[in-house]
Amino acid sequence: MKRREFLNTSLQGSLAASISMLMPAGLLASELPADITELTASKLSAAIRDRQVSCLEVMQAYLQRIERYNPVYNAIVNLADQDGLLGQARRADAALDKGEYWGWMHGMPHAVKDLANVEGMITTSGSRLYANRVATADSSLVASVRAQGAIFIGKTNTPEFGLGSQTYNAVFGATGSACNPALTAGGSSGGAACGLGTHMLPVADGSDMMGSLRNPGAFNNVIGFRPSKGRVGGGDSLNRGLSTSGPMGRNTEDTIRLLLSIAGPVSGEPNVMRYSLPEAEQFTPLNLQDIKIGWMGDFEKYLAMEAGVLDVCESSLNLLATAGAKVEHCMPNFDMSVLWRTWVDLRNMGRSGSQSMYDDPAQRALLKPEYIWEIEQSLVLTARQINDAGNARARWYREVVHLLEQFDFLVLPTAQVFPFSKDIHWPTEIAGEKMDTYHRWMEVVIGASLAGNPVVNVPAGFDEQGRPMGIQVMGRFGEDKKVLEFALAYEQVTDFLQQRPNLVASD
């Protein structure tokens, strides 16, 4: 029997058996869909815990879905051996039979962004240099997810070394948007976001330096949350001040649960926050009538925006205003060109550790031009530039604090363009304005990254071509809970997350 026939036959038989079971409290029989992959991660967790579905059934359903859609979308790479995954799922069921419950992700399939190490799996970082590099230990984030009972099925695609908001690389190719596989999924957590949007994954982890949790969230119509600096451990120590790992979800509740799984403290990482967040059940939607929002738009035409982006975002803000929130335009008292220079210098400083690859002609030949350019920029940085950038960043943080004394949240579009062809590496111009670097088209995200504040992407709607867009909502430092509670309230007054794409199956 062929593998696809086996998966179909096994899934149909086991689903029939599970549906006939008594539905325990917490998940009604009507909430159990014909396709297990339609369950949110939170509901899937409850269904597994309450034995409404088996871990084997869940694994079979997800493998079947991956087989059907991943050849088109290319979200998941280095998929693990399927017989081994089914064996792990059976062991997870056996544990439940013995009364062992590993955590809220017990038996759930999970794919890790291909920048993080899963013991025994290949971590390519999207680079031909590491196409066969096998990890010898779990990263701290992966260890946290494993502790919740997840079964690691593979990796999610990412651009080379996570650089760029377009997920393509020379090892695996490009990842398409869940809304249209011909368009980019964004990046660098593009594989994770696409996996969520296509329901090939229940929940997903990612990381964010320059919008890499937010931009793909917008381009795939899912949630992407960048936590407060230090909330989640792990990552490159040189870039620790700019980048952070974080959760993504099909909805805010799932995002919250994964955040609680990966948030600190972490042994051996002194800069990780030592105080914990409350349990997921203690997160409740904010009363929007008490909320004041500062809409920064395009920074009074400083940022080039594709036609329609601001219209889509402002339409979503109108829904919030109708629900009682107060929305006002605001503009930082800051030279935004200085903010860009600050970003570029601090980002380039983090590339100094890659000089050895640059100095080796054989390795350099395997690097993409944008990475070579960033390394070269790091080599000419002066101490004065680094000092000035640090001082400017401090001034920017003070300005953000000042604005958040007047507003509960600051809001911007998540991207300056709608998803574009995945065959284009990056937009060279926006609305007739030339982009002078390969990442200038995502300048809109740097404010939150430099401040280190929590910021969530929530879907804002679609343009006439059906291309998705999001808004990024930034709160006060450390108030991750409040930002996510805003996202919960936002879901109550919008229906964007319920608007599912028409997926394209492989032949």
Length of the chain: 507
Is 14 part of a structural domain of the chain?
Answer: no
- Residue 106 inside a domain? The answer is no
DSSP string, 325-389: -EEEE---SS-HHHHHHHHHHHHHHTTGGGHHHHHSHHHHTTS-HHHHHHHHHHHT--HHHHHHH
Domain membership flag for residue 142 = no
Q: Is the residue at 378 inside a domain?
A: yes
Residues 27, 28, 34, 40, Cα dihedral to 10°: -30
Give the chain's domain count: 1
Residue 33 located in a structural domain? no
Domain span holding position 452: 289-498
pLDDT band at 507 (very low <50, low <70, confident <90, very high): confident
Supply the DSSP symbol for 166.
S
E strand or H helix at 29: none
pLDDT in tens, 213-231: 999 999 999 999 999 999 9
* Tens of pLDDT, residues 306-350: 999 999 999 999 999 999 999 999 999 999 999 999 999 999 998
Instruction: Judge whether 193 lies within some domain.
Output: no
The CATH number of residue 429's host domain is 3.90.1300.10
Identify the residue with better confidence: 290 or 251.
251
Query: Does some domain include residue 421?
Result: yes
**Gap between the Cα atoms of 469 and 317, Å rounded:** 13
pLDDT value of residue 308: 98
Strand 292-295 with 244-249, pairing:
unpaired
In this prediction, residue 353 carries a pLDDT of: 87
Model pLDDT for residues 467-496, shown as the tens digit of each residue = 999 999 999 999 999 999 999 999 999 999
Residue 50: inside a domain, yes or no? Answer: no
